[in-house]
Amino acid sequence: MEVIMKRLLYTLVSAALLLTGCHKPEYVLPTAERQGITSLAAYFTFGPYVDQEMGRLEISDPEMDRYVIPIPWYFPEASDDITTPYMTKVRVRATLQPNCIIEPPLTILDLTEENHFKYTDATGAKRDIIITGERVKSSKCEMISFTLQHLMVNGIIDKAKGTVSLITANDLSVAKATASVSAHATISPDPSEPHNYNEGFTFTVTADDGVTKMDYFVVKNVPEKIDYGVNATSVEKLFNMDPATGLGLPGYKEPANVSMGVLDSWLIVNMGDGSAPRYFNKIVATAGGTINIGSASPTGSIASDEQDHLLICNLAQKDETFNIWWTPSVTAAPELLLSFVNDMGLPIGQEMKVIGNIKDEAVITVTYPGISGVTTSGFFRAIHIVGGEVVSNEIIDLFAANGFHWGAGTPRSTCVVAGTPQMDMGWYSAAYSENILYWFKSDLSVGSASIGEGDGSVEDAPGGGAFVNGNVDPNNLDTKQFNSARYLALFVSTHFPQWWPGPQLYVYDITGGSISGNVYNSPQLVFSVPFMFDQEYQSSAADGNGACGDVILAPSADGYMLYIYYYDHYSQMIGGYSMDCIKR
């Protein structure tokens, strides 16, 4: 009996062990909403655009087994450089949902051929897939700009409606125009021929693919505006590129003092090295040439007001003459606006800003940066213009008033902008050493101080961070009036691009004066690109001379468009956005 019981116990234990050993783990469904390959991206492996993305395929069908990555016919899109030479050696990267595998691993592929892989989805199911590429011509057929010749009237383009409004009282029954359209697209009939815009005229823009088309009805008209400020739904990215490879501007290792302005259809870029400022199409950044500099000395900086007037200043050391010139166009020689001897022991001219209209009322601010490694400074000049004439030119000391200064670091880490052309809403500035954006009231008391690190935790900010002390220059500022509102732009350039984070762009409504809270979630914030991780920028600069940048707000003279441009010389990034106030 005892033997039988032992055998029975042994049998039960063995059965239990057998059942335990064969038990399959519970299958847990992946948390992703959809399984599979979500995107494939192709990158240059050689040439001037190495490591830049050349094409991307977004995937919505989880069952597809042939993936064709569209590669643009030209790169950059606005250039005439074809992508054919790069197609045979392309680095391809896949974005996969959890538990999905591509075998063998993706490396460098010849996208002119069909590349075969084994794909395993999250359930373990396998299938053969093919990855290849195809050069495609652009399907973009947008009207970018439309300008009446001689009158220099810029059309207001509503892309959603396919209309272009010409705001003028002139007779347009026989008028000639120039137009720019999407890269490699064509427009017909020819706008340089005379057409009747009093009654309206239709143009057709045909994309480079020869198939996609859009009609634009151009007519003398005045579109309705919204009551206040910008229409938040109108934000459009214009361009973002490497200024060296894309525009032929100096690389990050070359000394520079970058500043920008806008004249009519042109974005003006000055490197502060004595060379003539260059101008580019403000919508697509195609090169235009160099401006007529006349007798002006562009060794300092440039700026532009709200009515298409460009200011140019020189760099003046102690006891040298400081000049500010102005010009209404890229072809007219600049005229002298004011001149005085710099009687301070600090240089002047590295940074200049303006708000208002210099032919009516405006305020020009020019800073006195400290001498690098030697002395600090909180000095700047406030030049008030009324009726087109300079009525005051005073030195203001923020350090004496409230202890604010820019430290003794790079002289390009200074900027002060006025709140209004009337000098009644004080000043805005930020410092590399503090990473705080200040509003100083007209009596120089601190009206608000918007910090950039929240409670000290970088997790507070969108994208996982905010201003990180020592890594960024939060001192690129500009202010402008637009549609009964006043705006301030802040561009945070990178002081050490080899360290995180990337550049940051913010625009605030400062009609009430203060900017409260944190810079990245302030109630006054109307537009931002908190971290430009999706942009290409030079992230390896470690020994350059270019820890400088600039940002400008540029209202169109007709009052319908507001443009924003930024430049980070060290990170080698230049780009722009547009907004409007058209009621839709």
Architecture of the structural domain at 37-136: Sandwich (2.60)
Q: List the one residue out of 155, 264, 160 whose CA is nearest residue 201.
A: 155
Query: Which of 56-65, 270-279, 322-331 bottoms out in mean pLDDT, i.e. has the lowest?
Result: 56-65
Q: What is the pLDDT of residue 462?
A: 40
Would you say 146 and 156 are in contact if contact means Cβ atoms under 8 Å apart? no
Q: How confident is the model at residue 327 (pLDDT cuts 50, 70, 90)?
A: very high
305 token code pair = 């007001």
Q: How far apart are CA 570 and CA 549, in angstroms?
A: 8
The highest-confidence range among 38-42, 201-205, 404-408, by mean pLDDT, is 201-205
**Each residue's pLDDT tens digit, 48-84:** 889 889 999 999 888 889 999 999 999 988 889 999 9
Give the model's pLDDT for residue 450. 78
Both structure tokens of 316:
């003046």
Q: Using alpha carbons, select from 291, 295, 258 the residue that is nearest to residue 273.
A: 258
Q: Is the pLDDT of residue 425 over 60?
A: yes
> What would the two tokens of residue 485 be?
């509102």
Domain(s) labelled CATH 2.120.10 in the chain stretch across 238-332+344-579
pLDDT for 534: 46
The H or E element spanning position 268 is: strand 266-270
What does the block give as tokens for 138? 């652009």
Q: Bridge-partner residues for 493, per DSSP?
A: 473
User: Higher confidence at residue 153 or residue 70?
Assistant: 70
Q: Which of 392, 391, 366, 390 is nearest to 379 (CA)?
A: 366
CATH architecture of 238-332+344-579: 6 Propeller (2.120)
Which of 347, 336, 407, 345 minimizes the C-alpha distance to 378? Answer: 407
Of 26-40, 146-160, 339-353, the least confident: 26-40
Which of residues 425 and 12 earns the better pLDDT score? 425
CATH code for residues 143-220 = 2.60.40.2340
Q: Which two tokens stand for residue 458?
A: 């970088």
Q: Please check whether residue 408 is in contact with residue 414, taking contact to mean a CB–CB distance below 8 angstroms.
A: no
- Please list the residue range(s) of the chain that carry CATH number 2.60.40.2340: 143-220
Other CB atoms within 10 Å distance of the CB of residue 16: 10
Strands (E), 320-466: 321-327, 335-341, 352-356, 361-368, 379-386, 389-397, 416-418, 427-430, 436-440, 446-451
215: pLDDT strictly greater than 80: yes
- How does pLDDT run across 521-533, given as a tens digit for each residue? 889 999 988 766 4
Residue 426 has pLDDT above 90, yes or no: yes
| pTM score above 0.85 | no
pLDDT reading at 456 higher than 50: no
Of 5-14, 412-421, 511-520, where does mean pLDDT reach its minimum? 5-14
